[in-house]
Structure 1
Amino acid sequence: MLCKEQQKQGLHPLIVSCGLPGEVQKPIEEAARKQGIDLFVWRMPAGINLRSTRDLIAQLKSQNVVLLHSHGYKFNILLGILGKKEIGLPLVSTVHGYVKAKFPKKMWVYELLDRIFLKRFDAIVLVSEKMQDISAFRNGKKIYVIKNGISANAPLLDSSLEADPYQLLAIGRLSPEKGFDYLIRAIAELNKNAVVCQLTIFGDGMLRDSLSVLVNELGEQNNITLAGFVADAQQYFHKYQLIVMPSLTEGIPVTLLEAMRNRTPIIASAVGGIPEVLGANSEFLIKPASVSEVVNKVRAWFSKEETHKQQLVDDNYRRFTEGFSAEKMAINYMSLYQQLMSLGGKQ
């Protein structure tokens, strides 16, 4: 979404998509090609591969790239190790959030290295004000907050899809920080009553097998579906009465913004930038890591009058249009890029 807005601004963004040798086309590569965004596909061995990183940078310079903007810990680490002096280009990183991994897990090491090598970047962008509470980002001169945004124009949806009663949807990687185990347990608790809720989860990941086991242990295999990765999930929003986002940590998730834009009700954990988006007193917020919170909020939603429900989703739509458009995000990034280029990347 950022790249499309940057094209409108007259910039020439180039998406660099890295993967392992032999890896087939990735979803981001398919999406970039469909949207007419320039794409540079690069395959390199896993790990701290500085030789391949140097080769990549040389290739990018040959294509007249003048600034590097990283969106993940892997290239934060690789670019940080090489440093601005060797690379010779301004370095920007957007930090979308941390999963709060625990020692001695590999992700804990990656997050530690990420914080260390981000200090060598010219600018570190956080996607929410709340992220400034992270100790590594407090009072930093190179810290900027640019909130995520998406196009204000919602895509045309299949009008034949109508929300079925008590149909719930969740979207995200099947990983610990998404809190899907709490949601699955909450559905089982809700279904002890006469009304049966159906939950569909779009996404794939490391916890797929363990979550499948949990669904079976709770006897909910007829009510909970792990549907795997679904491209452009928002096209199915109208089929569901409610989206639930039980995350333990987040930045500003795109799914949240898409739901607000499409006037789809969404219940979400009060973590990261979510309260900034929905409002600190929103009726849609839940405490993280709590089965009872999910149960009570879902019950409360289904008991509301239709007029009250409509008012709430209309309020969400207004908040989205006022503060989280892709155009506003792109303007803020353009200002940052211009500042760095005028300084030659020196901060």
Structure 2
Amino acid sequence: MNDEAADDRPLVLHVRVVTETGGGPEKTILNSPRHLEQHGYRAKCVYLHPPQDPGFQTLLNRAKEHDAVLIGIPDRGIWDLSVLWKLWRICRQEGVAIWHGHDYKSNVIGLLIRAVYRLKLVTTVHGWVSHNWRTRFYFWIDRLSMRWYQQVICVSPDLRETMIRSGVPETKTELIRNAIVLEDYQRTCSPKEARVNLGFAADIPVIGSVGRLSQEKGFDSLITAVSQLHNEGINCQCILVGEGPQRTNLEQLISQQSHPERYYLVGHQVDVRPWLETMDVFVSSSRREGLANVLLEAVAMEVPIVATELPGTQLVVEHQRTGLLVPVGDHRQLAGAIAEYLRDDTFRRQLAEQALQEVREHWSFSGRMEKVVAIYDHLMNSQSFTRKNTIQPTNEPIDASIS
């Protein structure tokens, strides 16, 4: 028997559906295995992805950087039953003890596998975005399936309230906020130096954001706000880091502004830290959001924050103390908040420093993982589950990608 098969530590399997290079949850999921090792758990990640999706290689590279085992399963859609069989096989071969889902499909599959294979069910609610009737139906199924999960982790209070209203017992829900590995986000140079390094004008302030170019991120509002600043005579440039379905629409909107040459859509960047360092102001203009990891990252990189008034965002940003808050979709107030920062360097630095102190004290990744481990420990110590009741792992290998 190989060393892994002989390892009696409980194995946690993180399962998620991704397209392209994923999103914010990857920063939490791929960071988890190395922290779980310190608490007596093994962990592996399984991502379901479209066949031949080029973005999955980027995720494999990121997993390697974090010492995380990432297994890929090509997923051809809702009727691809081979996905169910492959995941059951992984559970059987690896001796999975805890299934940790991260979206509607992984949550439903977890329930189905549990019918034939004994394991504990945990899920994390990262938030939902309803694009059309189909996704709204999927999210309804997701909320329904979570009623049978033993523990539902929510990253913000509003998501926890949604789960309780959906019929998940309050005792099964737990608020565990997103967090970051603070050591990974340390500023190395000034914004001007960072702009020179990336080929931008050093003396023109940067208003920036990072995220998927999708409707819920509200980047159209940010673009319009920056245009208002230009019209008021405030010299600035706007950098948006990310890729997504709204790119063409945003490019068209930019072309209609008074200074289109001051906007830069730089696409997906594997490492966003050099881009965060260019920014004098980070803007979270989202219409809907749980708690974006990149907001914490920007704070850790000492970038002042302007954000829309959303429940998750307000966990980090307290108006006039750790950042500035504006109503959702109000580009005029968004422009006003940005201008307030640009006109007062002392005020901008003060709020950035206070936000950094808040994140250092309350948003460390190790502290978050201790709360997750407490959930795992409780489930593993329950009378309904003992290690001897599981199917023992086999010697069959699991490849990085299962065709």
Query: What is the TM-score of this pair, normalised by structure 1?
Result: 0.91
1:184: which partner in 2? Answer: 223
**Residue 329 of structure 1: CA displacement?**
0.5
Q: Distance in 1 between matches of 2:120 and 2:379?
A: 7
Question: For each residue in 1:14-53, what CA deviation from the matched residue of structure 2 results, as whole angstroms up to 9, or x when unmatched?
Answer: 1112212233334322100122212222222112434421
Give the one of 138, 142, 148 matched to 1:120.
Answer: 148
Structure 2 equivalent of residue 198 of structure 1: 237
In the TM superposition, residue 152 of structure 1 has moved relative to its aligned partner by 2.3
Does 1:161 pair with 2:200? no
- Per the TM alignment, residue 203 of structure 1 is displaced from its structure 2 partner at its CA by 0.8
Deviation at 1:234, TM superposition (A): 1.9
Secondary structure of the residue aligned to 2:266 is: strand
Deviation at 1:239, TM superposition (A): 1.3
Q: Deviation of residue 175 (structure 1)? A: 1.0
Match among 92, 113, 132 for residue 160 of structure 2: 132
Distance 1:145 1:241 in 2: 32
Q: Which amino acid aligns with 2:143?
A: R
C-alpha separation between the residues in 2 aligned to 1:23 and 1:149? 28
- 1:110 has 2:151 as partner: no
In structure 2, do the counterparts of structure 1 residues 339 and 310 end up closer, same or farther at CA, with 3 Å as the change threshold?
same
Whether the aligned pair in 2 keeps the contact of 1:137 and 1:143 (CA below 8 Å) is: no
AA aligned to 2:148 is: R
Question: Is 1:308 the equivalent of 2:347?
Answer: yes
Give the match for residue 252 of structure 2: 213
Work out the CA distance in 2 between the residues paired with 1:146 and 1:267. 24
Mean alpha-carbon deviation: is it higher for 275-284 or for 62-71?
Answer: 275-284
Shift of 1:64: 2.3
Question: Which residue of 52, 65, 71 maps to 2:83?
Answer: 52
Question: Residues 152-209 of structure 1: CA distance to partner in whole angstroms, max 9, x if unpaired?
Answer: 2144555342564321111111111111111111111111122232111111111111
Counterpart of 1:257 in structure 2 is: 296
Q: Does 1:8 align with 2:8?
A: no
Alpha-carbon spacing, 1:177–1:308, altered in 2? closer, same or farther (3 Å): same
Change (3 A) 1:66 1:344: farther
**Counterpart check, 1:298 vs 2:338:** yes
| Per-residue Cα deviation, 1:293-315 (whole angstroms, up to 9, x for no partner) | 211111111122x3332221111
SS at match of 1:88: coil
TM-score, length-scaled by structure 2? 0.79
> Which residue does 2:17 correspond to in 1?
none
Superposition map of 1:241-252 within 5 A: 241-252=280-291
Deviations 1:90-137 (A, max 9, x none): 1111011122x26x5322122111111121211111012232332326
Structure-2 residue corresponding to 1:224: 263
Aligned to 1:20: 50
- Any unmatched runs of 5+ in structure 1? none
| Superimposed CA distance per residue, residues 205-234 of structure 1 (whole angstroms, 9 cap, x where no aligned partner) | 111111111111224430111111111212
Deviations 1:65-98 (A, max 9, x none): 2111112223123334x16333421111101112
**Counterpart code for 1:145:** L
- Counterpart of 1:66 in 2: which secondary structure? strand
Matched positions, count: 342
In the alignment, structure 2 segments of 5+ residues that lack a partner are 1-30, 196-201, 386-403
Structure 1 residue 321 displacement after superposition = 1.1
Aligned Cα root-mean-square deviation (Å): 2.2
What is residue 100 of structure 2 aligned with on the other side?
69
Q: What is the one-letter code of the residue matched to 2:239?
A: T
Preserved CA contact (<8 Å) 1:50 1:78: no
Cα distance in 1 for partners of 2:278, 2:368 equals 30
Q: Residue 13 of structure 1: SS of its match in structure 2?
A: strand
Say which SS state the counterpart of residue 141 (structure 1) adopts: helix
Q: Deviations over 1:240-269 (max 9, x none)?
A: 111111011111211111111121112111
Residue type of the alignment partner of 1:60: C
Distance 1:97 1:170, change over 3 A: same
1:35 to 56, 61, 66: 66
